[in-house]
Chain A
């Protein structure tokens, strides 16, 4: 004690939270990083113990008996208080965001969701997050009792395997009764597309005046071993794609190695979805398209002419 508390229902996201928590220990006067696991196997716990957790607390209750924010917030608040946590760090999944506000209110402190940077200065957490829909980056320090943060995926370096040899303990969590029970889970209509994990994304914009031009975009995505995404209009207005493929403010956020935006002007409503991309390539026939100002590589060309030629160059 004091322990930084880390939690996400999505196990794959926990190592990056643990990596950041380890980096913050000294700056926040913490002695340890404690990961909380809701159910899960012995293997899951052992894995976290090797990936940055000094302690792993395994709750006997599993995700199905704590499906809501009330039960999870009560459990995490009890642990955070007991461990005198200088902060709680969760992932910005929907479940994470849903729990964060409630947890922070119970702890009487600040909550900041969707951060993409977190450091310590003068013993206080300092975060960065996009503000005003992505127009600005807010950088701020936080005071007061245990703040709660949720972080965007791929914001932090995961703790390497073997960086810790933590212990695993069983936790008899004091949990509020859940506010609801899950009756069933239904697959979402349309396809399930994983843009967040795609190495490369080819993104289709309004510039694709008709459906006939889509073929080369799909082919390019295949050549680049990536996925196809889109801005809002090709999905909702033109009906060419399911809404699962929309990248942007009210759509998905992704940080691929390579992003190729084709026929997209570059309004913030879309670009905020891919700001974290390692390399941004913009193809647009309008040399004044705002998107070029945030491109690594720009090509001023008609997409119908350029895409087939680019595919040819890539596959020769």
Chain B
């Protein structure tokens, strides 16, 4: 099977700090987000079980030049990177179009696997957009994949229940973190990764109908992106443990909550 994995390199949100209500991203290290790693692991497991090739696609910052090797060390066979400055600031629509165009330029895929959402924007829309752009079926919140003939049996996690579904390939899948434990790269794999092929594509290399690829293409105009001002009461209940127990009860009664 020809498997495409779309991975996202994000700032490590655990290390983001707020200064004057603004998020400070400069200097925060990049990493592949967790569900991108789950997606890669799922692809590699399918390849190991049934044969095929895993290609990693990623649109993102300059740092991808180095980080892509990590993906190849964890089992990807080759990489396709879009980290040209012309892609900087690409919104979800552009990102999906670029990834889909890169997959098509590479001869397509039987299966495209992504994390169901990314761990920086938590938007969850790009995998669905990729599926529409490619004209493939789409199934998200997948926590188990079974290949069956020319199709797939998938277990997906809906809020109220698990659904087991069956459909034909090609498909785009969004996977959850429950699907697997991503393997760590061994020393041998890390060394081998350096020799695996990586292509760096520019907008001109892709069939994008002349569409803009960077921030200018976005139709979202951000008015503000600030840490919220705390408008909570901030009342500390004082006294002995008994006093505080009574004090809290009275406060909640006054609020009409108990």
Contacts and interface: CB of A to CB of B under 8 A. Distances in A.
Interface in A137-156: 137-144
Contacts of B139: 68-69, 179-180
Interface string B150-167: 000111011111111111
Contacts of B184: none
Interface stretch (A36-44, A79-87, A103-111): A103-111
A298 interface: yes
Contacts of A211: none
B248 A104 contact: no
B138 A306 contact: no
Nearest to A296: B233
Interface in B206-234: 219-228, 230, 232-234
A297 interface: yes
Contacts of A111: 92-93, 123, 125, 129
A73 B223 contact: no
A102 interface: yes
Contacts of B82: none
A142 B220 contact: yes
B165 A67 contact: yes
A101 B92 contact: yes
Contacts of B188: none
Which of A68, A200, A280 lies at the interface centre, i.e. has the most chain B CB atoms within 10 A of its CB?
A: A68
B194 interface: no
B18 A69 contact: no
A100 B233 contact: no
B180 interface: no
A142 B221 CA distance: 6
A72 to B, nearest CB: 10
Contact of A183 (B18, B165, B245): B165
B218 to A, nearest CB: 8
Contacts of B164: 182-186
Interface stretch (A15-23, A54-62, A201-209, A307-315): A307-315
B137 interface: yes
Interface stretch (A27-35, A126-134, A167-175): A126-134
A115 to B, nearest CB: 11
Interface majority SS (helix, strand, loop, mixed), chain B: mixed
Contacts of A224: 258
Nearest to A272: B122
B132 A102 contact: yes
B236 interface: yes
The winner among B162, B232, B236 for most chain A CB atoms within 10 A is: B232
A300 interface: yes
Given A113-B124, A132-B120, A301-B244, A314 B249 contact: yes
Given A70-B137, A70-B138, A114-B122, A133 B13 contact: yes
Interface in A283-297: 292-297
B246 A69 contact: no
B120 A250 contact: no
Contacts of A313: 242, 245-246, 248-249
Contacts of B237: 297-299
Contact of A101 (B125, B153, B221): B125
Contacts of A314: 249, 258
Given A70-B131, A94-B141, A180-B154, A293 B16 contact: no
B51 to A, nearest CB: 24
Nearest to B121: A131
Given A250-B177, A297-B233, A113 B245 contact: no
Contact of B18 (A135, A294, A312): A135
B126 A101 contact: yes
Contact of B219 (A100, A110, A292): A110
Contacts of A144: 219
B125 A296 contact: no
A46 interface: no
Contacts of B227: 135-137
B92 A141 contact: no
B1 interface: no
Interface of A: 67-70, 73, 93-95, 97-106, 109-114, 126, 131-133, 135-144, 178-188, 192, 200, 224, 249-250, 257-258, 278-281, 292-301, 305-306, 309-310, 312-314
12 contacts: A68-B138, A110-B91, A114-B123, A138-B222, A142-B220, A179-B168, A181-B167, A186-B161, A186-B163, A188-B160, A295-B234, A310-B245
| 9 cross-chain pairs, A with B, having the tightest CB-CB distances, nearest first | A179-B137, A180-B167, A101-B128, A101-B125, A102-B128, A309-B245, A105-B132, A144-B219, A105-B129
Given A69-B138, A309-B241, 18 more contacts: A97-B117, A98-B128, A105-B133, A111-B129, A132-B121, A133-B122, A135-B18, A136-B226, A143-B220, A188-B162, A200-B257, A294-B232, A295-B232, A297-B248, A300-B236, A306-B244, A309-B242, A310-B244
